[in-house]
Amino acid sequence: MKHIAKRSLSMLLALVMLCSLCVNALAADEVKVNSALSATELEKSASAQTVRVTVAPASAVTVSNYEVKLEVPKGWTITNIENDDPNAALTAADYNLANGQMGWTSKDAEDKSVSKFATYTVEIPANTAAGKYELKVVGVTAYKNYGQDAVLTKGQHDSTLTLTVKEKTTATGYTAELSTWYTQREVGQTLTLPVYITSSEASVTTWNAATVKIKYDPRYVSFSDMQQFGLKASEVYDDKTNGVVTISRYGDSVKCGNGNGTFFMAVFDCNAVGVANFQLTEARVDLQDNANVQDAPLATVKGDLFIQIGTPTYKVTGAEQELRYEPTAEAGKDFIINMQEGYVVKGLDVHYKVGGKDYTASWDADENTFIIPAQHVTGDIELYVSYHSYNITKTGSGAADVTLPQQVLDYKADYTFTLAKKDGYAYTVKVTIGGEEVTCTVNEAGTEYTIPGDKILGDTVVAVTRTKEASQITFTGSTDDLVGEVSRSAPVGQDFTFTITKDADYEYTVSAKYTESGETVPVTDNGDGTYTIAGRYITGDDISITVSKISPLDKFDFSVYEYVKVDGGKSVFLILANVKSGETLGEGKVPAYDGSNMYTDMSGRYNSAYSWLVFSDSTAATLLADVKNHITLVTGEAKSYKSNNDVNYTGTADINDAQLVYNIYNAKYDSFDVVEMKMFLSADINGDKVVNVQDAGAIARGTVLF
């Protein structure tokens, strides 16, 4: 159960470490990490050699877990990863020899004091060529507090170690060189290889004693004998199992160089088809005067030969970064070339040079490989690639603010363009390659965009949308009840809400439009005195909002008529309120005169006007000028009256209705106490807005004249 808990905790720590990669800030006061080689120089050797790489903090660190990776040259092998720090001992589960990655987590993820991270053992292949080789320590990370706090930040402690492989040093100026007169032989033929001994010292022109070792490939050849026309050997030993022939000679002085009879000539039998490798792995040469004082010292050796036995093969080189292939091509066969990981055929073409002529390899879509046809495999092949180039263009409202350094970009070459932002504007940048959007690396200021080179596989379009960061809002019309300034700024994309402190006696209408285009902008009445323009309409274009404050009485045409004269210099005046054409009253709203709902004729008299009567000693004009001070709009129903000769509302029209009209125009009533207002209104039988004898006569005749 304890092991299960540890594994679960380790997985959790791994997740924490992955998440921590997103943090740019370095852990404070990080300890330096030292990486060191056990040897920085080696001599070239016919046998495999090893070096050790130690990775350790400059001083002990307290950690719960850490990671290290060692990258070695191609063909080199990591044979062991260990740590002699007792607080961070490693097991096979902590590392991967194939890729050099190791990761250690303490028991139960508790913090430990660690003074060394790892020691790598690296095997260098036999016969590694002289030169400088790099070993890279990368990805050093460390955490404490159950993996929550960074101790060492990834990418900050990478280092490169250089190992130099030198040619074997010699105690003398002698050099032994294995040479050949052939590059190809057939099965059944013999192959003679000369071994020349020279001296770089002007005073040394001869030698006496020598031993040379030639390593050969017993799969394809076998040692036969020494050629009779060459320098005679004293002793020859052939190790057939390992493919090593040792040739020794002692005696009289032999001239240095390649004169007749001055060099060995080893003869081999060609037994099987293949490429046979021959190497001069060791040579010892000395003068006779040294025989009594020293062993024959090592001479410098040269000679690493590849001889085609049977079917010819040719050396293939070049473009190793992009292409993966065998080092030799066999005559008479198509040569197959694969892409290295991270490269795609869409981004490049593969070319090759054979016999001084250049060709382009064909692509086999079914096999996902490039092919050099057999008819071109006639000599050594040099490979090279050409990256595809594509056009890049810019578009959109912000295109003028983008600088493209060149109008062409290449596969695998990161491409950076700049954006010169203008104050007061927001920018949206979208990069598409071949119609598909790609993600760029953007600096913190948002002014430099880098397109990854491995994504550049088609024509590229940089689309930049530039919009104002805010719309300028201006209020016009009846702005007295507006809360706030008449000119404001609204951030793009955000809802814009404003408030009107409404007067209950007025109605308000609010409309909006874009100032430049005149296009209507929707405004939502929230019902509580606030209004909102949705963020999707706040685009950066200026907006004009018009507020209209309307008195309900402005919806009416008012008129006043002298209806009938009464005693005391007074008259009864008819006040009419007609709703203007195209106007409507709110649902359930009617006009009221001094608080009383006005009348309407059920038959639509006076163009369906609302009607009221007042006793006054004034004039119609004066009353008309003052009428709005008496009328308000209220909720309720209008009072009704009839114009059907039944003036007294008994249900029957008769002579008494004519009498009532007579009484009204003869001023028998000076108020509406005895005769209701609706009876007065019904008395205008002919609808001419005056009550007189003609109305009474009309009733008497039993005829309605209008």
Can you read off the two tokens belonging to residue 198?
């020279």
Q: Kindly tell me the sign of the dihedral angle through the C-alpha atoms of 7, 11, 12, 13.
A: positive
**For residue 520, with 0-12 CB atoms within 10 Å meaning exposed, 13-18 middle and 19 or more buried, which class applies?**
exposed
Q: What phi and psi values does residue 326 have, to the nearest 5 degrees?
A: -75, 150
Please tell me what DSSP assigns to residue 326. Answer: -
Residue 241 has a pLDDT of: 95
pTM, 2 dp: 0.37
Q: Which amino acid, residue 272? A: A
Confidence of residue 13 (pLDDT cuts 50, 70, 90): very low
Confidence of residue 168 (pLDDT cuts 50, 70, 90): low
User: Closest Cα partner for 141 from 117, 110, 113, 108?
Assistant: 117
pLDDT tens-digit profile of 603-649? 888 999 999 999 999 999 999 999 999 999 899 999 999 888 999 99
Domains of the chain: 2-23+30-166 (2.60.40.680), 174-309 (2.60.40.680), 313-387 (no CATH), 389-460 (no CATH), 470-550 (no CATH), 555-700 (no CATH)
Please tell me what DSSP assigns to residue 441. Answer: E
Q: What percent of the chain has pLDDT over 90?
A: 77
**For residue 310, with 0-12 CB atoms within 10 Å meaning exposed, 13-18 middle and 19 or more buried, which class applies?**
buried
Residue 482 has a pLDDT of: 95
Q: Which amino acid, residue 488? A: R
Can you read off the two tokens belonging to residue 61?
């660190």
CA distance 563 to 684: 9
Can you read off the two tokens belonging to residue 465?
């949308």
Give the residue, 551 or 42, on which the prediction is more confident.
Answer: 42
DSSP H helices in 638-692: 655-665, 677-682
CA 341 to centroid of chain Cα atoms: 22
Helix, strand, coil: what percent of the chain each, to 5? 15, 45, 40
Using the predicted structure, report yes or no on whether residue 488 has a pLDDT greater than 60: yes
pLDDT tens-digit profile of 110-161? 999 999 999 999 999 998 999 999 999 999 999 999 989 999 999 899 999 9
Once rounded to an integer, what is the mean pLDDT over residues 392-399? 95
The number of beta carbons lying within 10 Å of the beta carbon of residue 383 is: 21
Residue 10 has a pLDDT of: 47
The number of beta carbons lying within 10 Å of the beta carbon of residue 445 is: 8
User: Closest Cα partner for 110 from 9, 261, 248?
Assistant: 9
CA distance 296 to 208: 10
Secondary structure element (H or E) that encloses residue 302, with its range: strand 300-302
Residue 318 has a pLDDT of: 96
Q: What angle do CA 268, 270, 273 make, to 5 degrees?
A: 145
